[in-house]
Amino acid sequence: MQLTIQKMEVYYNNQLVGYLEMIDEDTIAFQYDTDWIKKGFSISPFSLPLSDKVYISNSPYFKGLYAVFNDSLPDGWGEFLIRRMLLRKKINFEKLSPLVRLSLVNQTGLGGLEYLPKQKKDQINETTDLDLIAADINKELNNRTDGLSLDNLYKLGGASGGARPKVHLKINNEEWIIKFAAINESSLVGIEEYKANILAKECGINVSEFKLFDSKLTKGFFGTKRFDRIGDKKIHVIALSSILETTHQISNLDYIHLFQVIQKISVNPDDLYEAYRRMCFNVLYGNKDDHGKNHSFIYDEVKKGYVLSKAYDITNTIDKLEHEMTVNGSGNPTEKELIEVQERMQLSKEKCLSIIENIKRVINNITL
């Protein structure tokens, strides 16, 4: 494994976007390629506008990277797998520079950005039997190695984000993310997330396509179709927290920030009301895992601008005391705060009240 990388090229669908270079241990420079400046788009609309400037981040969170590049790195389950894989090779993950970490992800990260040079991966025999994968995940979570294929888990899920174990699989030439129960989680989490997505869809939310995959061990594994892939084409995605150069691991954002970013960058006039619908659903249904990385924007090459991505990571989080993102300053908001947001953002009162009433009706009346 190459443990020192000073320079790196960033690509998007085989087009050179720009260059990353280590200046010192905590400083990384980025510069767009001249052709990308002429033909491309800003990959981070506030922090990295299109220019020939050399950009150096002053963020305290990402070891010199701009947040848009940090978005490519796995966290949660994916980082857990990478750490375990490197430990087996006697490599300390903590000592790897951000560029080396990006080289491990190279072409498999979330979103559309790719990184060269890349690390060579061993060829392995891959299983796509979901029950066998679930058994391997359980062994890994419980530090058992009998019959475990860590290589297979790493290949299938090493680029994942989020806490829950998951794999990325191509099914009928479409790319899906399939989730499994974490340690101490009920085996019913799959069907619970499936029901939550049905509710959200019934409320009119633009949910990413989803389904419940069959299992002999549980009532099913929840899967969601990747919205950052259309056939063989990758789609550029940037999280709300990354647009604002902050980390989702700190609860420092409010839904007002989401609306303000939409006003600044979205080319979809319906996005303000889509965001309002998602906010209301999360409050009324009890999805408090609504941090800044669970709201994202994609670059729409047809509309030549950013739009809200499809909704994802929708679930009921009864164990959380407060919402990760406050609603007009409240961590435990009610309809009062929802109306305050409508007033503050000067949205149509009639339309917003209709959204609230529809969500209440669906949540109270739908039979699953």
DSSP 220-243: -EEEEE-TTEETTEE--EEEHHHH
pLDDT value for 166: 86
Confidence label for 161 from pLDDT (cuts 50, 70 and 90)? low
Q: Mean pLDDT across the chain, nearest whole number?
A: 88
**For residue 113, how many other CB atoms are within 10 A of its CB?**
24
Model confidence at 137: pLDDT above 90: no
> In angstroms, rounded to a whole number, what is the distance separating the alpha carbons of residues 199 and 322?
21
Q: Integer distance in angstroms from the first to the last C-alpha of the chain?
A: 50
177 pairs with which residues across the strands?
168, 224
> In angstroms, rounded to a whole number, what is the distance separating the alpha carbons of residues 288 and 129?
32
* Domain 130-225 in this protein, CATH class: alpha beta
pLDDT value for 332: 96
**For residue 315, how many other CB atoms are within 10 A of its CB?**
21
The answer to whether 273 and 342 have CB atoms below 8 angstroms apart is: no
Token readout for 327 is 């609603």
Mean pLDDT to the nearest integer, 250-269: 96
> In angstroms, rounded to a whole number, what is the distance separating the alpha carbons of residues 174 and 260?
34
Confidence label for 143 from pLDDT (cuts 50, 70 and 90)? low
Query: What is the torsional sign of CA 29, 67, 73, 296?
Result: negative
Mean pLDDT to the nearest integer, 150-155: 63
Task: Tell me which H or E stretch contains 296.
Answer: strand 296-300
> In angstroms, rounded to a whole number, what is the distance separating the alpha carbons of residues 189 and 72?
26
The answer to whether 313 and 323 have CB atoms below 8 angstroms apart is: no
Highest mean pLDDT among 26-40, 97-111, 163-177: 26-40
Question: Where are the alpha helices (H) located in the chain, listed in sequence order?
Answer: 34-39, 67-70, 77-88, 98-105, 130-141, 150-157, 189-202, 240-243, 255-265, 271-285, 335-344, 349-365
238 pairs with which residues across the strands?
297
Mean pLDDT to the nearest integer, 349-354: 98
Chain-centroid distance, C-alpha 339: 28
Q: Residues 68-103: pLDDT tens digits?
A: 999 998 877 777 788 878 887 888 888 889 999 998
| 311 vs 364 pLDDT, higher one | 311
266 pairs with which residues across the strands?
306
Closest listed residue to residue 124, CA positions, set 88, 157, 166, 154: 154
Q: How large is the angle between the packed helices 271-285 and 255-265, nearest 10 degrees?
A: 160
Percentage of the residues of the chain whose pLDDT score is greater than 70: 88
Specify the domain boundaries for CATH 3.30.200 within the chain.
130-225
CA distances from 126 to 146, 213, 214, 216, 327 (A): 17, 18, 19, 20, 44
Model confidence at 14: pLDDT above 60: yes
Token readout for 301 is 């090459």
Token readout for 297 is 């924007």
**For residue 249, how many other CB atoms are within 10 A of its CB?**
13
| Strand 229-230, strand 233-234: pairing | antiparallel
